[in-house]
Structure 1
Amino acid sequence: MTNPNASADHPSAHAGVDDTDYDFIVCGSGTSGSVVARRLAEHPDLRVLLLEAGGTDEVPAIIDSTAWPILRRSEQNWLFRAAPNPNLNGRTIPMAMGKVLGGGASINVMAWARGHQADWDDLARMTEDDGWSYDSVLQIYRRVEDWHGEPDPRRRGQGGLLFVQPAPHAHPIAAAGLDAFARAGVPTFADHNGAMMEGDGGAALTNVCVRDGRRQSVYRAYVHPYRDRANLTVLPDALVTRLIFDGAAVTGVEYLRYGELVRVRATREVVLSLGAIHTPKLLMQSGVGDDADLRRFGIDVKQHLPGVGRNFQDHFMAPCVWEAAGPIDGRNNLGEITAMWKSDSRLDRPDLQSFLTELPYASPEAAGGNLPMHGWSLTTAVLRPESRGRVRLTGPHPLDPVAIDANFLDDPADLRTLKLCIEFCRDVGNSAPLRPFAKREFLPGPVGNAALEQFMRNGTVSHSHQSCTAKMGHDAWSVVDTRMRVYGVDRLRIADASILPRIVTGNTMAPCVVIGERAAQMLAADHGF
């Protein structure tokens, strides 16, 4: 193609396999990768290899849905840090990404957010593919969900692989938060993902993939039940280091496992589901990217695609924090309600979001190193950022670190929008319904404009929704076509959040399930199974 405009859970399970030919190799066991691997393995005649750089997800902090703050600094996290950002007073902020079976869905907050109707309809128009439309995507969601909330047959499904419910037995602060947002003009809904995601926004109990206090990851739902299938091999602790080419076609991959470099062949296709940081890194180190950048590191250019690593987008926030008089007994995912609203009534979808988190949550620079012992927060996410960043190589070797220029607050519009979000959340947090839970406002407090700007620059952190670095489209900066195939490269497809041209309105786990499901449909159609 050319751009028209420019198994088992444990390492020992299959360690003795001598045959290194597979029909499909899926790189990355995160949300999209787990979906693709499962759907392929449902065909018993296909041999599927799923490679994951991290290890087992049988970790207490992963199983316990309230323990995700521990995972922010654990070995199950790649512990990326963005490059120093002058817009954030030179800070290098953390960028969480899962390094474990299940990827991000094994370390995240387990909020199930489908994306706004306008997000999907935009994607359908851009790709000229009605399969990406909201109505089409809604059918995918209905098929994959096992919904345990208020019945809504048009929008919600039951009996699917993924357990989803509104946060059950929520802490009393959740009800108070819903009341507070309602009094501020954000209407309350019974379902975070029903009609609320088709209009101007609202507030609701968060949809969570949590059951009896235990994380229900996409990997556990899709891949774990297939771990003993003879046609599915799951290899943890396997870092994919390079794509193998034969001319313009990808014929396999190299991976590093326990100090040994291994080559495996794919007779049909390789699918990259490594996420918006590692997918462009692997492409570039394999010779797919901007030719000038690749030659600078002595990398043999296989395909010049200048958009690889560009267009980086993420949701960012500078949370507001209140000190509580006593302990807040956090439940479910510690973020039991969410609200979405517009900074400007003329917008066609919400552009601001807040979770009421049942713990004090802020950057060390904003908190001065001393968060209150007991407290809660309102996050302040900008959902439609204008700033764009970039992922770059720092060297030619697969173990060379990747450089992430997140570029938060580069566009002045983002600073203005973040300020509006913070001011709104301060009003909500200080209102009568939440007053019984607040001893005092800890951050940012009633400060002037100059101090508030410094709070934003010191307090802005990533929502860990990294996206858009190998975007789908038709222009010169596009990396994949509308069937997720890499331009100019045969037998290589990308299925993860990096293909999005623009980040979705809300958390990214659920949209990544859709991306995986659509990739599996396309693979089946293209290969005739």
Structure 2
Amino acid sequence: MCIQQGNRRDLRVGRAWSDPVSLLTDWNHRWFIDQRHDKKEHHDLRLYFNWRWQRGSIIAGRLADANIGSVLLIEAGPPDEGIPAMMDISRLFELDSGTDWAFLTKPKKHSGRQITYSRARMRGGCGNHNDCAYLVPPEANFDSWRELGTDGWSGKDVRPYFEHLKERVTIEQRPERHLVSRAFIEAGVALGLPKVDFGIGMLTLNVHGRLRNSSSVAYLHPLTSLPPNLEIQTDTLVGRIKFIGSVASACLTGRGRIAAGREIIVCAGSIQPPQLPLSSGIGDAADLRELGIDVVHHSPGVGKHPIDHYSVPVIFETAAPVPDRHITPYEAIAMLNTTPGAQSVESQLQLGPTAGWVNGRFGDEYQASTPKRDLLLRSSRMSPEAGATGSENYLPRYLRRADNRPQLSFGRRSLRREYSARERFVCRRLGQTESFKRIVSKELLPGPDIIQESDLREYIRKNCQTYYHAAGTCRAGSANDPNAVASPI
């Protein structure tokens, strides 16, 4: 995204920073606009990074509304307006392969198994590619970030921005119309889970009826009414950013060079944030020199802290065929603690009314039995500690690949720390309640014979899947942390 010079105020960006909420609402926030800045001085790295594709539409719309100058939104994928399968959330699986980057993990050492890591390739990012689940993290999560050095990110600090977001984005809760979702909720209540935010219930979605209310829909549509100072260029992949000294000056794309008169803001999703900095000379200096890339800025943490949390499926067979969904594949959810005294959500259970659509995607062993006869209940640990993967530095290596695409690597540490017996116990207990027994005939996977811890761990190794919640590839931290790529200014 390139911003040309305007006549309102000067926008100064210090160190690269990833802000998930302030950019949605308030461009006078102290981290981003400093009207005292002398434009002739360039002491800081004047390239702004934001680690979500969805955020690009929001930032572009907000900047254009603020009338600070002309804005060009550059999108690698196609446009999203006027495509029914993209806008109607119930038609999620009708999207063609050209709208998904479809990254792959490295083959596992012993099994050779690879996991497909879907990421949207279109304007609006994953908000036009996922099930539009709207979940606000517990304030305790943000408080822990502040304690790690990211001042201004406490739960109290960010709360107003979530409220502002709801003024622009429609948030709706799904009705309990699907018989499987109702049975799941009744089963959770029978086990003592409260039917509230912290408990079990139907997902809230950023939709209006069946139509997505993604970032591009909320902040850019209709495209015929875009402000005159905002231009959108789709199907344009940025390969590198050109610097003059430490100032980002232009984007080098497959369609030519695009110069910026003022700032460049990068919204690259959760997997690709390191790719553009590394190819542009921002990263570990030794790694860059080994690859023959001129060093613009030594930042050793780029690409060296990938985290995610795995999920593990428990699959049941229903006694009779069931509809695959009311609107979305995953409609009911349980948020719970499995450790006595825990103060924030530890685990998430999500139910798919049918698992047949995954076609083996959730592991080596699973194949759909009879169409519309399978239920998928997947569990995942939510805490950052439990969800951490190994910090293997995989990202510089993908610059050597001919297609320049990341090949992801997930470490064993997450597998050792994830999925205690408590999560598996809860999933199976839900399946044994009277509510579930009315529709479920048997457990398919892991299967009633898989009881021993060693057998369960082997099942997890063969069938675990990502939750598609990657983070940390350009992690935030205090200004004194040499491995923090982003920090408050």
Calculate the TM-score normalised by the size of structure 1. 0.76
Contact 1:32 1:273 in 2 (8 A): yes
Q: Does 1:433 align with 2:435?
A: yes
Task: Give the corresponding residue for 2:417.
Answer: 414
* Counterpart residue type for residue 178 of structure 2: H
* Counterpart residue type for residue 207 of structure 1: T
Q: Does 1:99 align with 2:121?
A: yes
Contact 1:210 1:332 in 2 (8 A): no
Task: Give the corresponding residue for 2:382.
Answer: 383
Task: Give the corresponding residue for 1:277.
Answer: 271
* Higher deviation after alignment, 242-251 or 37-46: 37-46
SS in 2 for 1:355: strand
Contact 2:363 2:465 in 1 (8 A): no
SS in 1 for 2:231: strand
Q: 1:159-191, CA deviations, whole angstroms, 9 ceiling, x for partnerless residues?
A: x110111113531222221121122232211xx
Task: Give the corresponding residue for 1:122.
Answer: 144
Q: 1:36-92, CA deviations, whole angstroms, 9 ceiling, x for partnerless residues?
A: 111111123411111111102243332221233444x722110101112338x3321
Q: Does 1:135 align with 2:142?
A: no
Q: 1:438-464, CA deviations, whole angstroms, 9 ceiling, x for partnerless residues?
A: 122221112132332222111111111
Judged with a 3 Å threshold, the aligned counterparts in structure 2 of structure 1 residues 481 and 317 are, in CA distance, closer, same or farther, namely same
Q: 1:349-379, CA deviations, whole angstroms, 9 ceiling, x for partnerless residues?
A: 1221011111215636344434441222111
Within 2, Cα distance between the matches of 1:232 and 1:99?
A: 21
Gaps spanning 5+ residues in structure 2: where?
1-13, 17-45
Task: Give the corresponding residue for 1:460.
Answer: 464
Judged with a 3 Å threshold, the aligned counterparts in structure 2 of structure 1 residues 353 and 337 are, in CA distance, closer, same or farther, namely same
Within 1, Cα distance between the matches of 2:338 and 2:217?
A: 38
Within 1, Cα distance between the matches of 2:179 and 2:401?
A: 52
- Which one of 441, 451, 459 corresponds to residue 448 of structure 1? 451
Task: Give the corresponding residue for 1:63.
Answer: 87
Contact 1:363 1:458 in 2 (8 A): no
Within 1, Cα distance between the matches of 2:402 and 2:236?
A: 13
Within 2, Cα distance between the matches of 1:412 and 1:334?
A: 26
* Higher deviation after alignment, 23-32 or 34-43: 23-32
Identity of aligned residues (%): 25
Task: Give the corresponding residue for 1:479.
Answer: 485
* Higher deviation after alignment, 210-219 or 297-306: 210-219
Q: 1:407-448, CA deviations, whole angstroms, 9 ceiling, x for partnerless residues?
A: 2x434542453x432231121123211112212222111213
- Which one of 179, 201, 216 corresponds to residue 219 of structure 1? 216
Q: Does 1:333 align with 2:328?
A: yes
Contact 1:208 1:333 in 2 (8 A): no
Within 1, Cα distance between the matches of 2:78 and 2:208?
A: 23
* Higher deviation after alignment, 96-105 or 28-37: 28-37
* Counterpart residue type for residue 90 of structure 2: T
Within 1, Cα distance between the matches of 2:369 and 2:234?
A: 37
Contact 1:328 1:359 in 2 (8 A): yes
SS in 2 for 1:67: helix
Q: 1:274-304, CA deviations, whole angstroms, 9 ceiling, x for partnerless residues?
A: 1122110111111111122222221111111
* Counterpart residue type for residue 340 of structure 1: M
Task: Give the corresponding residue for 1:322.
Answer: 316
Contact 2:176 2:202 in 1 (8 A): no
Within 1, Cα distance between the matches of 2:244 and 2:402?
A: 20
Show the 5 A alignment for 1:324-363.
324=318, 325-360=320-355, 361=358, 363=361
SS in 1 for 2:89: coil
Within 2, Cα distance between the matches of 1:301 and 1:80?
A: 27
Gaps spanning 5+ residues in structure 1: where?
4-22, 146-159, 197-201, 484-529
